Structure 1
Amino acid sequence: MLSGKILVIDDDDFILLTVKMFLEQYYSEIKTINSPLHIEDELTDKDYDLALLDMNFQQGETSGKEGLKWLRKIKELSPATQVLLMTAYGEVNLAVEAMKEGATDFIVKPWQNEKLLATVQTAMALAQQQREIEKLESRNKILSSTADSAFSNMIGKSRAMKSVIYIISKVAHTDADVLILGENGTGKEVAARAIHRASNRAHQAFISVDLGSISESLFESELFGHKKGAFTDAKEDRIGRFEAASGGTIFLDEIGNLTPALQAKLLTVLQSRKVTKLGTNHAVDIDVRIICATNSNLKEMVKQGEFREDLLYRINTVEITIPPLTERLADMPLLIQYFLTLYGNKYHKKDLIISEEVIKKLQKHNWPGNIRELQHAIERAVILCEGHELTTSDFSFLSQRDVNQVFDDYNLENLEAWAIHNAIKKHQGNISHAAKELGLSRGAMYRRMDKYNIK
């Protein structure tokens, strides 16, 4: 028994029965309809690999115009569905003409079963190849938009990071779901990619999804996929992120931002490991490793009724907390040198150096945006520096009054308020730009502004 879905359309019930009984010996799913008016419903609800289509549907009609009309309709609704035309001997020339319209081949009535089976097998192989090509193309589009970031390696020798790296080494070779916690900019996606690279799925896809950036109206389309025509802008069939990641790993970032309704939809998929594309009722099996991340306190959100407890239990078989940069100061020289080499090569300034004195000043700086803020600071310094050595003047925040002279070293809230206030002032009130410089999302920026009463 071969896998494959075949739709047979003919107004002769005897032919439908004959074809169905014969092909059911070889293929898993054969559906017959005796009117082409049902074609749209069938192709909207299910993905058929092959359609066997009669050329004429009205008594005494021999022109084949109806067959051509419905052939075009099938190719419009489901371009990947291969079409075999069933025609009388005298209509062979018409059938050949129809192949120019998109038909794969034709079968002359009455047929020999061996010839019918051979033609169907050839068309099915072509259909499955086409499906694979379309899936790969969709997958490549998603992969290209979620390619590894420049900073893709775990860097650190501090005690805090050694603990993280140890947990990653233990969990990577399993398929356990992982929840990564940590502030914005600490490197949660870097940790997720490290888990994937050390796993048995390393040679399969790693798909990263920023749930905070997907609107509620597009959530199902982006994650689960859609059929052509499922909504206004659905101009072609598209697989979702889950199906693209099948065999590999999907990383769901900012999972704490999901509304209760979206949490329920996600939980259903995580429990069943099946997705249903918008515009269909057909569930597709997925085989993915789930890694989630958030900077939110999900346990507190559960208490407040803002996050589903059953979803939390589903995603956090293993929890990993990434420490903020201020708790891993011993890693800063390594991180600084990494970014210096990265951006020195990118901007053709390969001989740049940075002194121990400047590194020590950078270590004393408060980093509310964590590694992301440090990365952007090094990139700006590399771009703006005039000589071959980065100095304090290349870091605007270091050339201002020493933070230690302004605030008590141990009052981190004052330091954070000071950083936010100065970033807003620097960008002349543009909250988006200030948040980006600090490595914060707009939402996180506004929450901190409210906390410190910054207008």
Structure 2
Amino acid sequence: MSADGQSSDLSSPWTILLVEDDPVVARATDILFRLAGHRLDIAADPQAAYSLLARRRYDAILLDMNFTAGRTNGEEGLSCIARIMAEDPDARIIVITAHSGIRIAVAAMQAGARDFLMKPWRKDDLLAKCTAAIGARGPAASPSVDRSGGGLLLLGNSVAMESMRATIRRVGPTVANICVTGRSGSGRTLAALAVHAASREADRPPLRIDLRDPEQWPSLDGAHGTVLLRHPDRLDAVAQARLLDRLPPGLRCISVANGLGSLTPALHRRLCTLEIAVPPLHARRDDAVVLARHFAQVAAEAYGHASVRLTPAAEAVLAATDWPDEVRGLAAVVERAVLLSDDGVIDAAALRPVGPLSPLVATDAAPAFRLEDAERSMIEAALKEHRHNISRAASALGISRGTLYRRMAQHGL
């Protein structure tokens, strides 16, 4: 190791992710890596880490094991390791734990961590452990390497999303033909790419073909490996028969479709050994907040904002809204709110697609979801955030004081 922290055989700068909730430790670590010529991104908790991992690859991940005050059992860190390793088995994780945490460190190594470091650590020890972990594969090509095929793009903590991720982890390594279905904008293509990322051919991008474009069909001739087919359900019966004849034997097909009802039985057998249905946002409302925080940080980076924060009232709106364009529509609204923000604070009023409270109109909601409950939760969140200042709460919700008073009376607030 040279004096500046660079390894003699690792001359390229590293990109490191630190998952640490102590700002003092985070700041000291940031200074250390910058002085050594490396880049360090900091996440204060696992959720923030998942968002960063969805955007870029890291040469190594430094992971604290506890994030909640009073908790010392390392369960939060172990859960984070399990999710990261499930999505990226090649991840280089170095856990950071207290001197009394040998048992936790051993459990972390068994879960997939490459090494561990005891607090308080010495800078030479930290750099040496990073060198050893990174040296096995060499530094990542760039801090912004495209991770469009990475499973960690499938953000969300709902049972539905975890079930889908588990299915992808199970079928991805096989040669089974998979059809990903769901509403447009819900993340079907990302799920399809996650299947490929979990396969044995993940190092080679799949051939992508939009079947609505006849000029792309010749690419199927002699194709091998994996092909990502978009919109097979949009073809008529004659075109489906032609597609079936044109698909080479042994070619793995991962398809993206609205549904399977319009497929002929023969094409269904060829394309769909298993269907993976991407759940709509209205079936996993809490995930909308997780996704919005992610999109806010992505937009903040793009537009040069130092930081962005969603207020409680804004998050209540996000969870209560039925997004006509699913995740894609949510991302667009959040990006616009970040772009127009002056202070980095995104309030409820900034997230209204049209008109006061109009996002709450249910278009395709689950039967158990009640509009009245969603509106009440929005108003309660705005009142709490602004300490029952009616004028400020009304402004945050994008309605007049009189309207807010009427809604409060209607909901018994």
More helix by share: 1
Using structure 2 for the length normalisation, give the TM-score: 0.49
- The structure with the largest alpha-carbon Rg is 1
Using structure 1 for the length normalisation, give the TM-score: 0.45
